[in-house]
Chain A
Amino acid sequence: MNDFLHIPILQVLPPGWDLGWSLMLIPLLPLAGFLLLGLFGRKYVKNSSGIIGTTLLLVSTALSLYTAYGYFFEFGKVDGVYQKIIPVQFTWLQFSPGVSIDMGIILDPISVMMLVVVSFISLMVHIYSLGYMKGEERFPTYYAFLGLFTFSMLGLVMSSNIFQLYFFWELVGVSSFLLIGYYYDRPSAVAACKKAFIVTRFADLGFLIGILILSFYAGTLDFNTLIERLTSASAPEFQSAITSSFLGVSALTWALVLVFIGGAGKSAMFPLHIWLPDAMEGPTPVSALIHAATMVVAGVFLVARLFPVFSMSPPALDIVAYTGIISALFAAVIACTQTDIKRVLAYSTMSQIGFMMFALGVSGQGGENGLGFTASMFHLFTHAMFKALLFLGAGAVIHFIHSNEMKEMGGLRKYLPVTHISFLIACLAISGVPPFAGFFSKEEILLAAYHHNAGIYWMALVTSGLTAFYMFRLYFRIFWNRSAIVHGEHHGEGGFAMMVPLVLLAVGAAAAGFIPFGNFVSSDGKRPESVFHLEFSIAPVAIGLVGIFAAMWLYKKQNDRAAAIAKSLNGFYKAAYHKFYVDELYLFITKKILFNLIGRPAAWFDKNVVDGLVIGTGNTTQVISEKIKGFQSGKVQQYAIYFLAGVIGLAVLFIYVWK
């Protein structure tokens, strides 16, 4: 009999680092916040609910930082290699011998890194929201949902079992659904949250089937065992997974591609990205947390988590790489045309995640080849900082202007100094201008691409140029361009609560690049020898600066150059402005095909054919009984005739026929 209350704490940690319960507290505290505020928030602690949520998260952030310190500097490394440690694990649901969902916590470089990122960004957003969401009617609900999200995200990154990851994967999806739909009385928000959920759900279908295939061949759901079995060429599981194939593609590749589809859905990779821009309907801090820093990189994390297995299947890796680069370029182009500042940021997010993806795609396993992996994780880390910063900054602007539209804005630098500076830092960081964080991570990515695949490298280069361009287009349109029109009284930059995160994140965005990331996170846990070539980074920086100056030339002052250029490449511009009509395509498929060609006929068939048969039987019986009533004519003589007929009939039947 399994017992819920007894959770085995595996004693793999050195004395003094017996982290079992404290590790479990990291996700459980936000969950507690969710339950507390969700059940009682509305009635009892309406106004203090923000404080409660934030404090709880503060504790778990502290715990995760403590854990990170412990892992990276004290016990994580055993003779030069970072170990995969599973301090906590218990069987949650046993399917069949060996195959079971185990709820556990895994400590390895990426999970610990994600632990820090998630809890830190989430904390920032919590604090920020204290100011930003003040006076909202559903304030407690908001913090409850934030807690739920943080819980599921932390659980996701610490998962030790692929099904456990799927478990939290879905929870993350639903909490994102709830937060996008936070302003539930706006039809646009409702549409957006449904869209986000259904699209990711559709992608998760791939993930699920992928899991089924992996579990079938590996005979386990536990990450370590699974990776072990599917990476050692000698293992029988690996052999069967490689040899058995469908449509000429090996089962392993199928599984990985399907899993990747799931990841692509969450990470808004082309062509499953359509939900991300709409997701901006949610409150801006939420966009910062979920749709910029943490949840959307879950796909990257998933690939990284299974990376050793991916590295056994080059085709799968190529798909990852090309999906990544295409999304990056595609999104960057669209971003240049959007006028809703949050949508611009959304597309830039998509583009940056594209960078991370193809970085993984071009990476190899271990040593020098592992550069892409490290780079991708590094970029994930830095991107979390500056993209969160950008969104929070945008939030401050929106808070000030009460609009998302660029044309409402301009010349805000004197009204919002802090926001202005931090926003500028973030822009520089994302454009890869040294010495800001983005520079270092992007360099590594480009380097990895350069070594692996020239085509991808050049596309990436163009993309980074575009990145610089649209970011500074955004920057100048908001803070320069024209003198601000500020109608009526305005409440400065929002309170202290909103400033603190901006500053902290600005520091992060500026300085995070100097972390020797490779020492900590690498594909095989070993420390790779440093791979930093200054001469290589000239081209990227140059193209970045070109982008920046182009933006300045077009947007620093009010002028019609931009409009003129837009007109000159009219068709392409319109297409880009309409996001290349992908949404319309999806709409066509769902509405026309799914509903009209499948749903409606099914309903009709059920109503008329299947049910019709049932009704028909009843009616036929009635009709027959009506038809045969003449049999009972009321004439006693006819009765007698039937009588005799019966007698004779029986006699004949049994004497002559039925011997």
Chain B
Amino acid sequence: MLNDFLILMKSELVISFIIFLLLFIKVGTEMTNDRLLSLVQFLLLANFIAGFLFNEAGSLFGGAFTTNALMAFQKSILSLGVYLISLLFADWLKKSEHMPEFFMLMLSALLGMFFMISSGSLLMFFLALELSTIPVAAMANFDLEKKLSSEASMKMILSSAFSSGILLFGISLIYGATGTISFTEMPALLDGSPLQILAFVFLFAAFAFKLSIVPFHLWTADVYEGAPIAVSSFLSVISKGSIAFILLTALYKVFGPMHAVWYNMVMILSIATMVVGNLFALRQQNIKRFLAYSSIAQVGFILVGISSNSIEGISSVVYFVLIYTFSNLAAFGVAGVISQQTGKERIDDYKGLYQTNPFISWILALALFSLAGIPPTAGFFGKLFLITAGASRGSYFFITVAALNLIVSLFYYLRVIRAVFMDKNEQPIEKINMHPSTKLGMIICGAGIVLVGLLSWVYDYIVNLSM
């Protein structure tokens, strides 16, 4: 029993260990930010590596907590993301005097996501969801003196409180309709009766809120813009990824019987999300807000993949989230470095960036091409596999809309590329000197963007996991 406990919950345990370590360091010692940062980076790296060791499938607490290889892999994607964040935003982190708290919050959110991914019952899911939400709301407010920051976090906490109210109402209805909250028992009891559909809609709305699917997305842009870039990137990559994973489990495993219902729902929402996200992104000037809308559009594509109730669906979504982690973090990282050093966050400020900073320009270009799905970057493969998975249901209309949205998205990604590479600028952003770990993070992202696509075994590995 104890062994199972230690083995199956090892990643959660590692995270909690790190959290407590930080707590002790905070209260106990006078460690400088620098050393602490490198320590944390090391620990996170260790955590990431540990994610690949001794993975076993099994369940605890009477099925409330389950885990398997795929879930472990999903968790390691998330920990990789966190590790990259700790690298990319080193400068910003060093400056803030509350760095340990920041990591504690982020890690507890991560812990929540881990639990969410391997949750086996609605109760566990709900607790994990809250655990992964509330700290982030606090993190959003981390620039304590900035007005926008606190506005952002206010919007986030209130909307998420509201959404969790909706979620709970849905859960209660499900409970009423089926009498169970465990994922394993529920499918048998689902028959698509109106009450269940209603409950499902409530439940799904909560997912949609976290995943910022139109029309539940409105908080996203504001929060991303207001919050510190590190937090925005965490929100856009880590929390979105975790929700995408759990949404897979929920839709495929739990609500599988109601596939007929949710396929159409996902299709409609996906189209709406892609279109609205793209249309809003077209206009944006602030790079963070721009990335926010672009990530909304990306979620639309994730939904395309999810809509196919199949192995390809799972694997392509996981694969895409992995690629998306690299691409989006790279983009956020560049934006973060620039705004950290110059305070400039407008796309127009990026004009002529290539003249002064070729390296980060190329990184940014790679990231954006990957987001736009241009070969040979990994994003191309990710998008393509998502669409392929979605096409397996054979709705030409759906796929055509998705494909056409690729063009619109390309249009606004090219806006940034044009600013960086083509436009003239009298006083471009001056040469930026980065923290070495930031550089390392960017290189990792770049390598990931290039390699994850071309090395096909990554995808094969994921496919084998999702079997």
Q: Which residues of A contact B (CB under 8 A)?
A: 618, 621-622, 624-626, 628-629, 631-632, 634, 636, 638-640, 642-647, 650-651, 654-655, 658
Output the nearest chain A residue to B199 by Cβ-Cβ distance: A651
Q: A621-B282, A651-B201 are in contact. List 14 more A-B contacts (CB 8 A).
A: A621-B408, A624-B279, A626-B283, A629-B280, A631-B218, A631-B276, A632-B221, A632-B280, A636-B154, A642-B216, A643-B215, A644-B166, A650-B204, A650-B265
Output the nearest chain A residue to B155 by Cβ-Cβ distance: A636
A643/B163 in contact, CB under 8 A:
yes
Complex alpha-carbon distance, A638 and B197, angstroms: 25
Indicate whether B158 reaches chain A with its CB closer than 8 angstroms: yes
A642/B218 in contact, CB under 8 A:
yes
Indicate whether B42 reaches chain A with its CB closer than 8 angstroms: no
B454-467 to A contact mask, C-beta < 8 Å, 1/0: 00000000000000
Output the nearest chain B residue to A644 by Cβ-Cβ distance: B166
In-complex Cβ contact of B201 among A631, A645, A647 (8 A): A647
Collect the chain B residues with CB atoms within 8 Å of residue A621's CB: 279, 282, 408
B218/A625 in contact, CB under 8 A:
no
Collect the chain A residues with CB atoms within 8 Å of residue B205's CB: 643, 646-647, 650
Collect the chain B residues with CB atoms within 8 Å of residue A645's CB: 215
Output the nearest chain B residue to A646 by Cβ-Cβ distance: B215
Collect the chain B residues with CB atoms within 8 Å of residue A629's CB: 280, 283
Collect the chain A residues with CB atoms within 8 Å of residue B264's CB: 654, 658
Q: For chain B, which range describes its interface: under 10, 10 to 19, 20 to 34, or 35 or more residues?
A: 20 to 34
B11 to chain A, nearest CB (A): 33
Indicate whether B159 reaches chain A with its CB closer than 8 angstroms: yes
Chain B's interface: helix, strand, loop or mixed, by majority?
helix
Beyond A621-B408, A629-B283, A643-B162, whether A655 also contacts B198 by CB under 8 A is yes
Collect the chain B residues with CB atoms within 8 Å of residue A647's CB: 166, 201-202, 205
Output the nearest chain A residue to B222 by Cβ-Cβ distance: A634
In-complex Cβ contact of A636 among B198, B201, B219, B279 (8 A): B219
B152-178 to A contact mask, C-beta < 8 Å, 1/0: 001100110011001000000000000
Would you list which residues of chain B between 181 and 202 have a CB under 8 Å from chain A? 194, 197-198, 201-202
Beyond A636-B154, A640-B159, A645-B215, whether A625 also contacts B283 by CB under 8 A is yes
B162 to chain A, nearest CB (A): 5
A170 to chain B, nearest CB (A): 45
Complex alpha-carbon distance, A643 and B216, angstroms: 5
A643/B201 in contact, CB under 8 A:
no
Collect the chain A residues with CB atoms within 8 Å of residue B198's CB: 651, 655
Complex alpha-carbon distance, A628 and B282, angstroms: 12
Indicate whether B49 reaches chain A with its CB closer than 8 angstroms: no
Output the nearest chain A residue to B272 by Cβ-Cβ distance: A646
B201/A654 in contact, CB under 8 A:
yes
Collect the chain A residues with CB atoms within 8 Å of residue B155's CB: 636, 639
A646/B216 in contact, CB under 8 A:
yes
B281 to chain A, nearest CB (A): 8
Complex alpha-carbon distance, A644 and B159, angstroms: 11
Output the nearest chain A residue to B215 by Cβ-Cβ distance: A646
A654/B261 in contact, CB under 8 A:
yes
A631 to chain B, nearest CB (A): 8
Complex alpha-carbon distance, A578 and B348, angstroms: 68
Would you list which residues of chain B between 271 and 294 have a CB under 8 Å from chain A? 276, 279-280, 282-283
A574 to chain B, nearest CB (A): 65
Provide a sorted-by-A list of 18 A–B residue pairs whose CB atoms are within 8 angstroms. Answer: A618-B411, A621-B279, A625-B279, A628-B279, A629-B283, A632-B280, A636-B219, A638-B218, A639-B159, A643-B218, A646-B208, A646-B215, A647-B166, A647-B202, A651-B202, A654-B261, A654-B265, A655-B197
Indicate whether B209 reaches chain A with its CB closer than 8 angstroms: yes
Collect the chain A residues with CB atoms within 8 Å of residue B411's CB: 618
Collect the chain B residues with CB atoms within 8 Å of residue A628's CB: 276, 279-280
Collect the chain A residues with CB atoms within 8 Å of residue B163's CB: 643
Output the nearest chain B residue to A628 by Cβ-Cβ distance: B279
Beyond A634-B222, A643-B159, whether A655 also contacts B408 by CB under 8 A is no
Collect the chain B residues with CB atoms within 8 Å of residue A636's CB: 154-155, 158-159, 219
Collect the chain A residues with CB atoms within 8 Å of residue B408's CB: 621
Complex alpha-carbon distance, A642 and B216, angstroms: 7
Collect the chain A residues with CB atoms within 8 Å of residue B159's CB: 636, 639-640, 643
B162/A640 in contact, CB under 8 A:
yes
Complex alpha-carbon distance, A644 and B201, angstroms: 11
In-complex Cβ contact of A639 among B218, B279, B280 (8 A): B218
B280/A643 in contact, CB under 8 A:
no
B415 to chain A, nearest CB (A): 11
Complex alpha-carbon distance, A121 and B205, angstroms: 95
A651/B197 in contact, CB under 8 A:
yes
Collect the chain B residues with CB atoms within 8 Å of residue A646's CB: 205, 208, 215-216
B86 to chain A, nearest CB (A): 31
A94 to chain B, nearest CB (A): 40
Collect the chain B residues with CB atoms within 8 Å of residue A640's CB: 158-159, 162
Complex alpha-carbon distance, A621 and B281, angstroms: 11
B209/A643 in contact, CB under 8 A:
yes
A650/B283 in contact, CB under 8 A:
no
Output the nearest chain A residue to B194 by Cβ-Cβ distance: A655
Complex alpha-carbon distance, A628 and B275, angstroms: 12
Complex alpha-carbon distance, A651 and B201, angstroms: 6
A620 to chain B, nearest CB (A): 11
A28 to chain B, nearest CB (A): 52
B198 to chain A, nearest CB (A): 5
Collect the chain B residues with CB atoms within 8 Å of residue A655's CB: 194, 197-198
Complex alpha-carbon distance, A425 and B197, angstroms: 112
B279/A632 in contact, CB under 8 A:
no
Complex alpha-carbon distance, A638 and B218, angstroms: 9
Output the nearest chain B residue to A642 by Cβ-Cβ distance: B215
Complex alpha-carbon distance, A647 and B209, angstroms: 11
Output the nearest chain B residue to A638 by Cβ-Cβ distance: B218
Collect the chain A residues with CB atoms within 8 Å of residue B221's CB: 632
Complex alpha-carbon distance, A473 and B202, angstroms: 108
Instruction: Give 6 closest A-B pairs by Cβ, nearest first.
Output: A639-B218, A625-B279, A646-B215, A625-B282, A651-B201, A647-B205
Which residue, of A625, A651, A655, has the highest number of chain B Cβ atoms within 10 A? A625
B154/A643 in contact, CB under 8 A:
no
In-complex Cβ contact of B197 among A622, A639, A643, A654 (8 A): A654
Beyond A632-B221, A655-B197, whether A622 also contacts B282 by CB under 8 A is yes
Collect the chain B residues with CB atoms within 8 Å of residue A642's CB: 215-216, 218
Collect the chain B residues with CB atoms within 8 Å of residue A639's CB: 155, 159, 218-219
Collect the chain A residues with CB atoms within 8 Å of residue B215's CB: 642-643, 645-646
Would you list which residues of chain B between 207 and 235 have a CB under 8 Å from chain A? 208-209, 215-216, 218-219, 221-222
